[in-house]
Amino acid sequence: MTAHEIDYRIFGEEMQYVEIELDPQEAVVAEAGTFMMMENGIQMETIFGDGGNQNEGIMGKLFSAGKRLLTGESLFMTVFLNQYKDKRKVSFASPYPGKIIPIDLTEVGGRFICQKDAFLCAAKGVTVGIEFSKKLGRGLFGGEGFIMQKLEGDGMAFVHAGGTLARKELAAGEVLKVDTGCIVGFTKEVDYDIEFIGGIKNTVFGGEGLFYATLRGPGVVFIQSLPFSRLAGRIYAAAPQGGGQQRGEGSILGGLGNLLDGDNRF
């Protein structure tokens, strides 16, 4: 194996975290901002990209970091290396309510495609790159699902799904239609494309967007019920505009209560 072999345990229900046990000189690479806690004896180092090109000189490092820049992620990742003589543990937390999915890349043919913000952490040696779309429709209308990340190697990787997780195993030729933001990831055999919903009423009044993703089997697909963009949109829509405090929510008068108590400003 080229990737480090790591043991792990996942804790929690709605807000999970993964605890990874590292043997001496084993390491795990993680997305910036996911670190939760670690035992003494683990060294933390910030690197360009995913560490996959660290032995190929400055151009290799820049190429690795550039791939991440295209997906909108940080140029840097963090490596946690166990330099102690015994086993040590390090933990990484979910960014918002949902589930952590362990992916053994040796069981999925060495490659897994996921949303660009789904990756949490992986064994050192797993490559985190980008999956370029070869179809025009994906590029023009894919939205959240256009630029996907690909995890390659023979180690363990961990991705995060928001809300409730659905695992669908598609037979050959079986098609699943999904909101682009609800896709967490899928195995490399799955064919992925963007399709127009169609219909004047759907387009103008549907409120679900103009396009959805079609996933064609064979392969395994992971779907999330709460994409972060949807969660953020609901929070933004519910937030009071202009910084004022919303007092009317939940009352009989609703927004009228704000007007009557003088809270609204003209």
Domains of the chain by residue range: 7-235
Whether 53 has a pLDDT exceeding 60, the answer reads: no
Q: Compute the distance between CA of residue 226 and CA of residue 162 in angstroms, rounded to an integer.
A: 5
Top pLDDT among 31 and 220 is at: 220
> What residues have CB less than 8 Å from 256, skipping those under 6 apart?
248
pLDDT at 167: 97
> Mind spelling out the 3-state secondary structure of the chain?
CCCCCCEEEEECCCCCEEEEEECCCCEEEECCCCEEEECCCEEEEEEECCCCCCCCHHHHHHHHHHHHHHCCCCCEEEEEEECCCCCEEEEEECCCCEEEEEEEHHHCCCEEEEECCCEEEEECCCEEEEECCCCHHHHHHCHHHCCEEEEECCCEEEEEEECCEEEEEECCCCEEEECHHHEEEEECCCEEEEEECCCHHHHHHCCCCCEEEEEECCEEEEEECCCHHHHHHHHHHHCCHHHCCCCCCCCCCCHHHHHHCCCCCC
Query: 34 φ, ψ to 5°?
Result: -100, -10
Confidence of residue 261 (pLDDT cuts 50, 70, 90): very low
Give per-residue pLDDT as tens, 70-111.
555 566 789 999 999 999 999 999 988 999 999 999 999 999
pLDDT interval class at 46 (50, 70, 90): confident
What CATH class has 7-235?
alpha beta
